[in-house]
């Protein structure tokens, strides 16, 4: 059970649903972490705009992006 409530589509306002739509249109599944960001429409909007900037016209091939994610996780001792 999460400590921060998630915002389901049925309970979300129009701004949050618009951000959910934009993220799903880019191929992101609507994970609970995104629903958690739905508690603050501005945060979710900022995240979706950042994701669009990173994924709409990527400069790196997908395999190199994945290597960068893995290396950043190693450096920061994070589980991927």
DSSP label of 4: S
Tokens 């979710």 -> residue = 44
Residue 43, CA distances (Å) to 22, 35, 40, 60, 72 in order: 14, 11, 5, 26, 23
Tokens of 66: 């994945």
* CA pair distance 15, 69, nearest whole angstrom: 30
In this predicted structure, what is the pLDDT of residue 8? 96
In this predicted structure, what is the pLDDT of residue 27? 87
User: Is 1 among the domain residues?
Assistant: no
In this predicted structure, what is the pLDDT of residue 69? 87
Structural domain tally of the chain?
A: 1
User: Is 3 among the domain residues?
Assistant: no
In this predicted structure, what is the pLDDT of residue 14? 94
User: Is 2 among the domain residues?
Assistant: no
**Structural domain for 57, as ranges:** 9-75
pTM of the model: 0.71
User: Is 23 among the domain residues?
Assistant: yes
Per-residue pLDDT of the chain (80 residues; tens, 9 = 90+): 668 999 999 999 999 999 999 999 988 899 999 999 999 999 999 999 988 887 877 788 889 988 988 999 999 998 76
């Amino acid at each position: 059970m999460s400590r921060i409530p998630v915002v389901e589509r049925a309970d979300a306002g129009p701004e949050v649903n618009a951000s959910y739509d934009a993220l799903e249109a880019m191929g992101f599944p609507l994970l609970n972490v995104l629903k958690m960001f739905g508690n603050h429409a501005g945060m979710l909007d900022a995240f979706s705009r950042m994701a669009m900037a990173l994924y709409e016209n990527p400069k790196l091939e997908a395999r190199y992006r994945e290597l960068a994610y893995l290396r950043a996780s190693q450096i920061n001792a994070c589980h991927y």
